[in-house]
Amino acid sequence: MANPAETSSPLEETIIIGGGISGLATAWFLHRSGRGVRLLEASPAVGGVIRTLDHPPYRHEQGPNSTLQKPGGADDALGRMVASLGLQSRLCEANAAAGKRFVLKGARLQPLPDSPVAFLRTPLFSWRAKLRLLMEPWVRRGREEESIAAFVRRRLGQEFLDYAVEPFVSGVWAGDPERLSVRAAAARIHALEERYGSLLRGALAMGRVAKGAGMPRGRLVSFDTGMGLLPETIAARLPPGSVTCDAEVIALRPQAGGWQLTLKGGELQWGRRVVLALPALAAARLLRDFAPGAADLLEGIAYGPIAILAIGYPRRNVEHPLDGFGFLAPRREGVALLGGLFSSTLFPGRAEAGRVLVTLFAGGRMGEAFLRTEDARLKAHLTGELAGILGISGDPERVHLTRIPRAIPQYELGHLERLAELDRILAPFPGLYTRGNWRDGISVADCIRNGERLATVIGGEKGAGRSDGGEPT
């Protein structure tokens, strides 16, 4: 069998397979630490699902529209990356109006309450549900792994599941709260019960220790020309020749002292270490030959499909003031939409003066059947629902549909055990690491943080053979 000594191919220090944000972040932080790195991406461009399209007078995203930065802390890998790339002046914080969020109820958008007084006044929840919330501190702890839905019903009741938690889970995860694990997908909320025995007591106690510490903190950010700027800049700033697109790896084999990679077309490459920064199914294909048990585990990770509809109108055609982040649509309301973002309110440059851009989402684990609708009917249906919700007249100026069949990995019941078993199976293979949003967090900021952690592990020559490269979130 050929090896680097018998060919002209060099033995790369670390080869990263996959040029989404997880692979790019790992490559960037390894490069910054002085480590040699080569990144191989199967498609014509890096970035994965992060894509920004410019169609004047509109600019819209085909994937993530923003991410949450936690400035100045140990978790702020995003901030460290932005600074090292020289992109500080290009980073945009969301409009202050983004703090206002709406939920559809009774064909009207109701603002989520943001204070105790607003909570008492909101029509989103009945008085019975509000009184039920006051009983939460006396609810017993759970005794076994629960779904998010079971956890919320037990602690807060059905109405909070229907009009607060389920639409949030659908909007963020494109998931089914009956199947998502509260420990894996909502670890911080679960930790409040574990530590304080109550969500309310935990939030109050954390609030006394540090302002707002009981709630997610940070600032919603993007870039002046859209999220696509980030992967494009990383790839451009890595050393010349270290990023290769249209380079599909079709086979991976452990070798003495490293790894052999076979590219489509037959080219061989070798690396001391390999990072599989791939979606779960793609990583499973490369593991199948030498770690079939690991491949089986990865193939068992479900994904939620998503349809994204960017839609632009003249401002005069839209009655709603669009004075917020956007809206969520509970399934109980009987609409296909999961929700929508008021994109032109959130960040500058998404629509020219006198126009507005809204980004709609549909599908998910509970809406897979709807996504079988053909494009023209799907666009017409979602456009019609939006018109009724926002009071829109006339036809849109811009409609762009993006379908992502395997959009968001689902941290369903048993997910943490699945990852632990995966790490156990891959432990005998030194120099092999996995990275991706199917573990340790799905957001762009999560992927960057986890890429930094893995680069630290590799850079310090620690943790050889571990597949995760960092602590779970």
Query: What is the per-residue pLDDT across 49-63, written as a single tens digit (0 to 9) for each?
Result: 999 999 999 999 999
Please give the CATH topology (third level) of the domain spanning 114-213: protoporphyrinogen ix oxidase, domain 3 (1.10.3110)
Does the pLDDT at position 473 exceed 80?
Answer: no
Give the per-residue pLDDT at 8. 37
pLDDT band at 205 (very low <50, low <70, confident <90, very high): confident
If residue 60 lies in a helix (H) or strand (E), which one and from where to where?
Answer: strand 58-61
Query: What is the per-residue pLDDT across 228-277, written as a single tens digit (0 to 9) for each?
Result: 999 999 999 999 999 999 999 999 999 988 999 999 999 999 999 999 99
Does the pLDDT at position 371 exceed 90?
Answer: yes
State how far the Cα of 383 lies from the Cα of 9, in Å rounded to an integer: 54
Does the pLDDT at position 470 exceed 60?
Answer: no
Residues 6+ apart with CB under 8 A from 398: 55, 58, 310, 311, 312, 357
pLDDT band at 74 (very low <50, low <70, confident <90, very high): confident
Q: What is the pTM of this model?
A: 0.92
State how far the Cα of 230 lies from the Cα of 81, in Å rounded to an integer: 9
Per cent of the chain over pLDDT 90 is 82
3 state SS of 465:
coil
State how far the Cα of 177 lies from the Cα of 153, in Å rounded to an integer: 11
Superfamily of structural domain 4-49+228-301+412-459: FAD/NAD(P)-binding domain (3.50.50.60)
Does the pLDDT at position 7 exceed 80?
Answer: no
123-140 average pLDDT score: 92
Superfamily of structural domain 52-76+91-97+303-409: Protoporphyrinogen oxidase, mitochondrial; domain 2 (3.90.660.20)
198-218 average pLDDT score: 61
Give the per-residue pLDDT at 18. 98
Write the single-letter amino acid at 223.
F
The domain segmentation of the chain, as residue ranges, is 4-49+228-301+412-459, 52-76+91-97+303-409, 114-213
Query: Of 435, 419, 473, 466, which is closest to residue 30 (Cα–Cα)?
Result: 435
Does the pLDDT at position 160 exceed 50?
Answer: yes
